Every structure is written in C-alpha cells, then in structure tokens.
Structure 1
Amino acid sequence: MRTLTRSVSDASPFAQRLDAGRVIAIGVALLGIASAVLIAQAIGNWHFGLGFLIGFGVVIAIALVAGRASGRSRIARGGDTDRALIRAALDIGQEPVAITDRAGRLLFANRAYLDRFGPSAVPPDMPGLAVESEAIADVGTEAWRDGAAEMLMGPTGIRLSAQRVGTGEDHLLWRVSDGRGGLRDQAAALIGGGFGDRLGRVGLMVALADERGRVLAANRVFAARALGAAGASVEGRDFTALLGQTEQGALRFAREEGRDPLRLLHVPLEGDDAARGAALMLLFDDPGDPSALAAAAATKPSDVYDLLGMLPLGLALVDRDGRFLFLNAAFARAAGIAEEERPIYPGDLVVKEDKAAVADAVRRFAGSKPPTALAGQSPILSGDIAVRLARRPEEAVSLTVASARGLGPAAVLLSLKDSGEETRLKRQVNQANKMQAVGQLAGGIAHDFNNILTALIGHCDLMLMRHTPGDSDYDDIHQIRHNANRAAGLTRQLLAFSRQQTLRPQTLQLPDVVSEVSNLLKRLLGDKTHLEISHGRALGAVRADPGQLEQVIVNLAVNARDAMPDGGTITVRTYSVSAAEVRRLGSDILPIGDYTALSVTDTGTGIAPADLPKIFEPFFTTKEVGKGTGLGLSTVYGIVKQSGGFIFADSELGRGTSFVIYLPVFEGAAAPEAVVERDKPAPALWGSGSILVVEDEDMVRSVAERALTRQGYQVRTAANGEEGLEVLAQVTAEGGHFDLLISDVMMPSMDGPTMAGLARERFPRLPVLFMSGYAEEQLRKSISLENISFLPKPFSVQQLAEAARDALGRSEAR
C-alpha cells in the first residue's frame, strides 16, 4: 500500500499544539531579550542585563521541559484509554473490522476479524482473499485519496470497504461484509480462520466437503491428523480417502494405527444453490474404554449444544421419541419461533397437512438402522422434505433430516435455513422477469396496433378532405379520428412502459420543466389540494424529453390528488444528489454518480405494503372500476427508465406517499436552442418527385400512396423488401429514378434497413424515410446508414406529407 505525503491539514492535533508552542516560545524569548535591554539601559549596567537574560532563559527552559513531560504523560494515558475503548467498540460488531496506520500495520482488530483471518493478517494480504490482494490494495489507495472506498468481490458477494478515520484521519478502518456471499463460502472462511483454531483447541476436527466429497476447507487440527504434518493443506483432497476403518469397523484416519476411533457428525448445508450438496464433517476422538465412553457421553451433549449454538446454520436435535432436545437461535428464527415459545415436536412447526410427513421422516432416521433407498445399498445419511411452516404457510421450505448417532440421547439432526431473504430475492427476480415479459408483449401489441391506427387515421383524413364542416358525415368522421387519436395515446403508454416509445431528448433543467407544467397542475388539482414547489441550488443539467417529463409530473400529481379525497398538500421538489450522498444511501440499485432528483410527495392515505411492489405493473390499480386504467405509473416507470433514470416509491399508510426520480447529470455540452422564425410562413406541402413506398401492411401502404399522390408526387409501391429492390431496378432500367425511398422498418423476409442498405450501394445519395412503431433511438442504434429520417406510427396524412417534404428538402440541401 502506498504511503501518501501528508498535508498541513492532515497534521495531528498534537503536532499542531507543538507548532503553537514554538511560536509562543519564540515570542517569550524575544520579550526576555527586550526586557534585558531595557533594564541594562535603565541602570546603565550591561552585565546586570546579561545576567537577567540568562536567568530568564533558564526559568523558561525548565517550564518547557516540565510541560512537555506532562503532555507526553497525558497523551500516553489518553492513548491507552483510547485503545481499550476501541477494542471494546469493535468487538460489539458481528462483521470483521480492523484498523491500520499509514505504514499498513495492523493496530486493532475485533474478535470477528481474528476468527476469520487470524491475528497476523493485514490488508491486503488476508487468508481466503489473497486472489483479490491487488484490488484490495487499490481500495486502500483510493481510501487514502478520497476518504472512503469499497469493492464487491465477484460472485461471492463479499463487500470490503476502507475509510479514513481518526482525529488526523491518519488511520484506515477496514470492514468486511459477506453481502450476498453463499453459505458455503461463509462456512469455509470460519473453518479456515480463527474460529476453526478455537474448535481445534477443544479437540474438534472440522472439514467442509462439497457434493463430490472434495475437501473445501479444514481447520489445522484436522489437516495435521489427516496428513501427519503441521501446516499441511488438505484442500482439494478426497475426504473419504483420508479415512479408514479399524478391524472392528470403527472409523479412523487412514494414516493412524492404534489410535482411538473417531466419531463423525455429518451436517448438510442446505441454503443457496452454491451450498447445495456441501456438508460439514465434525470428527472427535471416541475412546474405547467403556468408562471413558460413558464419561464422554455425559459431557458430550452440552459441548455439542454449544457448538451448534455458535454455527450460523439453523440446527436442532431430536431424541428417539421425536421430541426436541435443542434448537439454536438460527433454527428458531427460520421457523418463526418466538423466544418465549418452546415447541415439543417438530410437527408443531408445520401446517396440519405436513405433520405426518415430518413425523415419519424423524421416525425413520431415528431408527436403529438408517433408512436405505433400495435393499443392499448403503445407508442414506440425510434427506430433504418440502414442508410449509405454520407461521409462513404460503411458501414451502426445505427441512433436512439427518441421522445423529453417538450424541447421547440425540437421534436426529434437523436443519432449516431462514429463507426469508432468499424468498424475497426470488420474488424480485420473478417480478422483474414478469415485467420484462409484459413489456415485450405490450411493445409487440402496440406495434401491430399502430399499423391499424395509421390506416384508420389516414382514411379519416382522406375522407375529411372530401367533406366540409357542414356535411352530415363530417362530425362522424371527426369523432372517429378523435377516438383513433385517443387509442394512439394508449399505445404510447404501452410503449412507454416497454421502453420502446420515441423520445426527443434535450439538455434541460428540471426546474424549467416544473415551471412549464405548474399552471396545468394547479387546474388539475383543484381547490382542495395545495401545491408547493421548491427548487434546490446548483442543479446539474439532465438529458431527457421535456414533453415526456411533463407527463411524468402530471401523472404523479394526479395520482397524489386521487389519494387525498378530502384535500391535502402536494410538494414538488428538485434538488441535487452528489456521488458522496449516493454512496451514503447504500442502494444496490442506484449506481454511484451525480444526480438531479425530482420528488413528488403527498399527505394522502398511503399505499398498502402488499400493493407497493406492484404499483409499476401495467393495468394494476387500486381505484374503482372505471376510474383508472392502471397505466399511469407504468408509463412513468417506462419514461424514467428509458431516460436513464431511477424511480423509488416510499409510502406509509395514513401518512402519505413520496416518489423520488433520480436522473443522471448530463456532462456533455448543451445543444443550441433552435431559432424559430415566427414571421416566416410554413412551406407548402405540395411537391413533385418520384417516391417509392415499401410497406407490408396493405392498409398503411394504400393510405401512404393516396396521401402522397394527392400532394403531387409520383408514387410506386412494394409489399416487401425484395419487391422494393425489383421495382427500383426496373425503374432504373427504364431510365427513371426515385427521389425518395419510404420504407417500414420491420418487414418479413427482408427488413427495411437491409433493403435500404442494398439500394444505397447503387444509389449512394438516395434519401430514406423510415416509418415504424418502435422507438427511434433503438432503431438508429441498429441502422448504420447516413441521411435517413424517421416517422413514428401512427401518423396523419399531413404528418406524412411534412416528413416527405423535409426529407426531400434535406437531400436537395446536400
């Protein structure tokens, strides 16, 4: 670890006090010299003045020496007191914690750190984390530079952090958190560290074996007994190859002869997928003398109970009659047992339907012989049963039943893992998969529906061209077109949820967006709802579609209004969130960086905890039938995610709800604002030229052909990409040409970009106008062509004519 040069601000208070002492000493010395000169001049005797100066200096020197000695004594006493306090404070925590100085020396470590890594382990060289030593060293360097740093060690989920601490910030506080670390990794770290050494001191040999019987970790006593050499490593060896049998069939180490036999306790690890199939192997000497065996049996249960109580696994012992003898805290927590409760039988923990299965399994494994799968096969050491706990009957859990022999009255070992966190993570993954599937479905439906709406709106526009407002059919046609536009808005919401809508991102300030929509909000909220708006200072610019952000704010405000039927207050606030603040939040979802946040808070009824995880799902609503589509919040979610942001909801029944949106600060240069020439008339939609329209939907192709023909263009059509290339080649062979190619993006056999790329090989300057119901941003990423335009579906006849005119105009300008 590199040692960084300390600045003046990093100096310790003691050093600062020394500097101040020097200044005072110099001042006193100058004062003494001046006094001696004045006295000598006053009495006219310079020898007397010199003697006064020497005496004054001796007195000051004695005072400084006494003060420095007293200060060192106080500092020494204070340092001893600080060390005792630090050790006591560190031992309170359950996570490994250590403190190092600038030279990288280990000054303090709590019991958890010593158990896991040993007394001589100094970051970055810690047993079990040696492969990450370079990365750990980088964490230390970054912490010295920035004040704090952390890292997540791959799939193990071990999180290591370092932070500058102390009055002078000249120490590093290291913390190791298992995070998402698997049960097998935690067990291996405990066995191979100081905890395994403590077990060895009481004569207990421990090894962790995987599903194939290979040793993953073992304490030093096990390794020394199995291999006959102190400090030897058994990792990777076959566990069964290390053991043998005596002539009487008792268990022993293969290399040992004439030693007392061993007793083996098999503890399966059942939790996460990484631990499945692994097991703890606990061995201890079993003396052959009957009296010694009786004495050992008399003391063994308490020793085993202490051991099981220290393990992080949910373990319990049951006697031959099926009654509980012991259960540790982890087992009680996993089964939902309160401290004052004491179940008698394992069947008391499960629902009525599973009682018989649990009692049968306990009886089989408590028998005189372990159960066998088939006649002639070796005994089964353990088995799993899927049961439902009485406290949590909605989800099944796995109960492991194993035979426990040689433990006095205990006959069966039960293992149950607290799967609450695992269940929550599985539910979140299932929810994310469901949301993704629904989003893909919504996007596909919206794309197909946009084709229908394009044809519907286009035919309405063509019919309105032949009718005037006084005609009998005019109002009916106009009403059909109005409803088609409403349906188009619904498809935009579906595309927003699936993050496939077309956005027009701009560099903007959130307060400007809020100001634009504030007047609309006041009209929507009504008189009973009070709106408060506040803006923070020094807000970073964000890049998003201002129109879509306005929709986000309106949807959140309308939902807040509906949650306050008797009125209340809605607070809209913008503020900046720095990377340091994000780091302090400790969110696993929000990446560390600078954000500009927008919060919408109400004082309404709140959201029920059971409904909170579902609020962003499409069509989920708690409103009455006919009062909500359930697409408001899903639209908000889609717009925020497509803009690169994050949204979080926090609610408490009866206290209100708060939605917070984090948008990353945009670091690029702001785009220049477009200059609008208000006095310049809009150009006419009429034009001339030859256009090729390629569209696989007959209705859309017909509308496009009729609309462009009405505007004065010569139009040829094709039903797919291959036909479009044939028409292009045919017209070229006849001596003609096309001024514009209009094509759908998604078509069977050959899509639009592929066809346009082949056409550009022969006609490099041919302008292309793509039309599609998918997001323009996504399509542009997959299209490597230049000089292309985009028209989102559904579109009107006028929008199609404007897009064609603009595409031709850009081509002429080039």
Structure 2
Amino acid sequence: MEDVETTDKLRVLVVEDVDDDLQLCLREMRRNGFTPDYECVDNAKAFLGALSKGKWDVILCDFSMPAFSGSEALSLSRSQSPDVPFIFVSGTIGEENAVAALQEGAQDYVLKQDLGRLTPAIRRALRFAEERRARLKVEQQLRQSQKMEIVGQLTGGIAHDFNNMLTIVLGNLELLELECRLSPEQQQLVQQAMEAGQRGTKLVKSLSAFARRQVLQPQQYDLNAGVSGAMPLLERAIGAHIEIQLRQSRDLWTCVLDPTQFISAVTNLAINARDAMPGGGVLEIVSSNVRITPQESLNAKGISPGEYVCLSVTDSGTGMTALTKEQAIEPFFTTKRVGQGTGLGLSMVYGFVSQSGGDIEIESEVGQGTSVNLYFPRNVIGTTASNPEDRETPAQTSRRLRVLVVEDEPMVLSLAERALQALQHEVITAEDGPQALQQLQADNKIDLLFTDLVMPNGMLGVELARLALELQPELKVLFTSGNPAMLPSDLREEMSRMGPILHKPWTRADLKKALIAALPG
C-alpha cells in the first residue's frame, strides 16, 4: 500500500455552497502535490447520495451554509462513513464550535483565512485514518483468533471423546461380524452401521483438522507436482460443466506439509467453488512464490512477513457478502441448504494451513467470485521434515505376545482385550497408570505395553511408558489415542521415540498392523 505522503490522487467530497471558496481549496491542494478527484454538494440529500457512491479519502466541509449545517454533515458522515476523515474548512466556525466538532469526531478544522494549513491537515488526517484502520484490523484479527482458539479447544475435546465412542461402536460391529453367523439381512444391517460409523470418523477428522489437533505427517513437498497429480480427482469432483485453468510458477519454492491433507484441502476448495457455480464457470488454480513485507503484513494482508508458497483457488461464481466472508472459516457455518453440507470444509482447510505454519486469505465480492489463497512457509533448509510415525517395521509376526492394556474407558478396554485375544495374544489389563505400574513391578514377562495417552489419576500414557521402560528396558510400547495432538509438543516428541501410535477409532486389522510396528525388526 502506498504511503499517503507520496499519493497524488485524492478523492475529496466537498460540502460547500460558495464556488469561489471551493476553487481556493482545490488550488491549494493542487499547489501542494494533490490531484483532487472531487464532488461538491451543499445539502443533506446530495451529501448522502455522494457518501453512498464510494469510498472517499477525505471530507472537507464548510461550517455555516444556508441549506445545510456543518454539524449535521458531521453527524451524517460519522453514521454513514465513520472511517473517512472529516475536516471543517470555515471562516466562521469559532473556537467553541471547533472544540465541540473535534469532540464529535471531526479530525481537524482550517480557517479559510489560513488555507496554508489545509494540505498539512489533510495529510495528518490521512495518516491518522490509516493508522486507525491498521489498528482495528489487528484488533479484529486478535478477536477472531481468540474466538477460533476457544472453538478449537472445544472441538478438539469433542473429537477425543467421540473417537472413543466410535472405537467401541466400530470395534464391536467388527467382532459381531467376525464371530457370529449372520443372515444376509443381518450382514447388511451391520455393514450399514459400519458405514455410518466411518462417516462419523471422517467428521471427527474434520473437527480435529479445524482444531489444529490432527497428527500431520509433514515432508518436503513440491506443491506443483501435488496439484498436477490431483487433477483427475478434481475434474471428477467438480464435473464437466466447470473449466479448470491451471497456472503454475516454474521456479516454485518447496514447502513442508502433509501431502494427503493438502490434497484434501484443495479438493474441499474445489467443491466449494463448484457449489458457487451451479450453472458452470471457470475454476482457476494458480501457484506462486510470494514475499510479504512488514508493511504489506500490517496494512493489507495481515499475514506475518516472510517468504511463502501460495496456492490460489479462484472461481467465477456468486461470491460472498462481507458478513459471509467474515464467518466463512467458522466450523458448521454454511450457506448451503440443510443436508447439503456440514460447514466444516473451509474450517478444516483453515486448521490444516494454520497447523502447517501458514495462513489463509479470502477475497470475494458478491457477483465477482471468490479467491482463497493458501500461504505455506517456504522451506529454506531443504530437508525433509521428520515424521514421528515413520519407522521400519517387519513384514509380519506370528509370535504370541503378553500384552498389558491400559485404558480408562471400560468399554474400550474390554474391546481391546477381546481384539487382542482374537489375535491369539495373552492380555493383562489396567485402568490407569498407577495400576499398570503395579502390574509391571509384579510381572517381568510382559512383552508389550498398549496404553492410552490421556488418562486420569495424574499419569499420562507417555509418563507411564517412561517409568515402565525404567522398570523393563526391553519392553515394547504401543500408544493409542482419540486425539494425540492434545498432548504438549514436547511429550509428543518423547512419545515418538518410545513407540508408534494407533489412532482411534481402530479396527482389528489396524491393531494387527500396529502390533507389528511396535515389535523389533
């Protein structure tokens, strides 16, 4: 954004009934480097009409006019265009009226006998207005951030508890299917219930993504290659009635992000764009390198200064109102009819980008389409990010294990016990960390500790594993959780060094694979 000191053009709304006085003001502005684009009015109706036409840089107003008072003009401008600086230019305002005008919201006053003060007053008012807009923008971003953080904490907690319930539902349905002789009709009922449970799993993943509490698997990533590879998927998702235009920077920087979650985010944006263009249109996907300066960060984008890889997804659809744009990333907010969307698509994109260290910017106007810009920090190190779940695993194991299962949810504990027994393993159970330590102190023949991460009685799963390994250094560890990102980052790092994690809800096949990952090669 240009500094007001070097700006030549100035959009001025002048409230004046004497043409000679108007010309003197215009001559003074031109003499001091401004090129005024102006409109002059002298009554309330014309003033309101001029305010409604567009954004003015400054309002210059006489104080005493036959058909319209300056005080009335000031009141109307504060209610209709409060961000536009208002300066009285008068020969009869008087000190008492001038002080009252400043108290009511005028930025300054200039006497017609001393128009040499006009240009400095305008420049000062423009600077003040710019600083005020920047301050209000920062305050708005802070309020939005605080609101989203509160909602994120809430959804993260819901995701944790809901994953426990889904583990019970899906696990028992799977055991029912495996252990019982079901008729075709009963088999169909079980399958329908499992499909509904899987849909619930996807919903919880969306909640975790918005809350920025999903477990990502970041790596050095070529964003261009990822988008190109996803084009067949995107074309199927949006249909033949929408043309996709792909424009990619040839020298695009790399970034560090989770490829699967990135493609999911792009797909969500493409589907939103499709829904905004029911009659067809153009979807433009553009990649670019972006450097955001401190001045741009403060005055325009509100994004931290730095170097970013930017992906812009732009549609030619219906666009958004200012209110809709403000609410767009909030969870469960949707403009679609009931049953046509959860309202989690854009909030999930926001959560993923934020968790990846980036930011999101939405530009939209009604009837002009929407552009969603995703900013990912440039990878300046040039190394692949480590993934705590990447570890070498043997192909299989037929060894019968003695497993200590630690879980505070009784039904999940029972399910884990039955699932492990079905895999021919011996099971010992405990309801919390202290009880598990007693078992380990009394039994040195336990092969594997299978523990939940978040448990009551003052001991988390990571803390239990740390103490367990002090007692039995050869012990193998497998963690499980409905939302492992609830742990502080230092504990997640410690967890990654001890053993793999099995995410809830899990199936028996997932459990079998996780057991293999936890065993020595």
**Class of the TM-score when normalised by the shorter of the 2 chains:** 0.7 to 0.9
Give 5+ residue unaligned stretches, structure 2.
8-54, 84-93, 108-128, 388-393
Q: 2:426 aligned to 714, 726, 734, which one?
A: 714
TM-score, normalised to structure 2's length? Answer: 0.73
1:82-109 CA-partner distances (Å, limit 9, x unpaired): xxxxxxxxx99289xxxxxxxxxxxxxx
Query: 1:668 Cα shift?
Result: 3.6
**Residue of structure 1 equivalent to 2:518:** 807
Q: In structure 2, what residue type is equivalent to 1:93? A: E
User: 2:51 aligns to what?
Assistant: none
Give the Å deviation of 1:462: 0.8
* Among 341, 357, 378, the residue aligned to 1:644: 357
Supply the distance in 1 between the matched residues of 2:63 and 2:365 (Cα, whole angstroms).
31
User: Take 1:470 and 1:92, find their aligned partners in 2: how far apart are those partners?
Assistant: 78
Instruction: Tell me, in whole angstroms, the C-alpha distance in 2 between the residues paired with 1:601 and 1:585.
Output: 25
The letter of the residue matching 1:428 is Q
Which residue, 93, 99, 102 being the options, matches 2:5?
93
The answer for the alignment partner of 2:185 in structure 1 is 472
Superposed counterparts of 1:462-501, under 5 Å = 462-467=175-180, 471-501=184-214
For 2:367 and 2:250, how far apart are their aligned partners in 1? 32
**Deviation of residue 515 (structure 1)?**
2.2
Once residues 548 and 758 of structure 1 are traced to their aligned partners in structure 2, the CA distance between those partners, rounded to angstroms, is 35
CA distance in structure 2 between the aligned counterparts of 1:603 and 1:692, rounded to whole angstroms: 58
State the alpha-carbon separation in 1 of the partners of residues 367 and 63 from structure 2: 34
SS of structure 2 residue aligned to 1:507: strand
1:751 aligned residue: 460
Counterpart position of 1:586: 296
Letter in 1 for 2:406: V
Distance 2:136 2:303 in 1: 22
Compute the displacement of 1:717 (Å). 0.8
Distance, in Å, in 2 between the alignment partners of 1:540 and 1:616 is 27
Change in CA separation of 1:389 and 1:692 when aligned onto 2, cut-off 3 Å: same
Give the conservation status (yes or no) of the 8 Å contact 1:606–1:652: yes
Cα gap change, 1:341 to 1:638, in 2 (>3 Å): farther
Q: Aligned partners of 2:453, 2:224: CA distance in 1, in Å?
A: 37
The correspondence of residues 164-183 of structure 1 with structure 2, limited to 5 A, is none
1:520 to 2:237 alignment:
no
- Greater shift, 437-446 or 336-345, is seen at 336-345
C-alpha displacement of 1:669: 4.5
1:765 equivalent in structure 2: 474
Task: Report the 3-state secondary structure (helix = DSSP H, G, I; strand = E; otherwise coil) of the residue aligned with 2:317.
Answer: coil
Letter in 1 for 2:321: A
Between structures 1 and 2, the one with greater helix share: 2
Tell me, in whole angstroms, the C-alpha distance in 1 between the residues paired with 2:197 and 2:321: 36
Q: Out of 610, 619, 632, which is 2:323 matched to?
A: 610
Change in Cα spacing, 1:411 to 1:434, as seen in structure 2 (3 Å) is closer
1:237-316 maps to which residues of 2 (within 5 A)?
Answer: none
Question: Which residue number corresponds to residue 415 of structure 1?
Answer: 103
Distance 1:512 1:469, change over 3 A: farther
**TM-align CA RMSD:** 3.4
What is aligned with 1:14?
none
Structure 1 residue 482: deviation in Å?
0.9
Deviation at 1:497, TM superposition (A): 0.4
Q: Which residue of 2 aligns with 1:629?
A: 342
Shift of 1:652: 2.3
SS at match of 2:306: coil
Aligned-pair CA distance for 1:468: 6.1
8 A contact 2:219–2:258 mirrored in 1: yes
Deviation at 1:670, TM superposition (A): 4.5
Q: Quick check: 1:445 aligned with 2:145?
A: no
Change (3 A) 1:613 1:340: farther
Number of residue pairs matched by the alignment? 421
Structure with the larger RCO, 1 or 2 (CA within 8 Å, 6+ apart): 2
Distance of 1:762 and 1:408 partners within structure 2: 84
Aligned to 1:692: 404
CA contact (8 A) 1:776 1:792 kept: no
Alpha-carbon separation, structure 2, partners of 1:696 and 1:488: 21
Give, in whole Å, the separation in 2 of the partners of 1:512 and 1:425.
35
Contact 1:694 1:701 in 2 (8 A): yes
Letter matched to residue 449 of structure 2: L
**1:730 lines up with 2:442 in the alignment:** yes
2:509 counterpart residue number? 798
Residues 527-553 of structure 1: per-residue CA shift (max 9 Å, x gap): 211112222112222211111011111
Q: Confirm or deny: 8 A CA contact 1:616 1:634 kept in the other structure.
A: yes
Displacement of 1:511 after TM fit?
1.7
Aligned to 2:24: none
Structure 1 residues 92 and 787: alpha-carbon distance in aligned structure 2, compared to 1, 3 A threshold: closer
Q: Counterparts of 2:200 and 2:191 in 1: how far apart (Å)?
A: 14
Query: 1:43-83: CA deviations, max 9, x gaps?
Result: xxxxxxxxxxxxxxxxxxxxxxxxxxxxxxxxxxxxxxxxx
**1:730: Cα distance to partner?**
2.1
SS in 2 for 1:782: helix
**SS at structure 2 position matched to 1:757:** helix
Secondary structure of the structure 2 residue equivalent to 1:571: strand
Alignment of 1:145-224 (within 5 A): none
In 2, are the aligned partners of 1:772 and 1:792 still within 8 Å (CA)? yes
Residue number in structure 2 paired with 1:362: none
Larger radius of gyration: 1
Q: In the alignment, what sits opposite 2:89?
A: none
Query: 2:281 matched to 1:568?
Result: yes
Question: Which residue is 1:663 aligned to?
Answer: 376
Kindly state the Cα deviation for residue 457 of structure 1 after the two structures are TM-superposed. 1.1
Cα deviation 1:169-206 (Å, max 9, x = unaligned) = xxxxxxxxxxxxxxxxxxxxxxxxxxxxxxxxxxxxxx
Taking structure 1 as the reference length, the TM-score comes to: 0.48
Specify the SS of the correspondent of 2:478.
strand
Using the aligned pairs only, state the percent identity: 37
Structure 1 Cα separation of the partners of residues 98 and 204 of structure 2: 65
More deviation, 417-426/632-641: 417-426
2:88 corresponding residue in structure 1: none
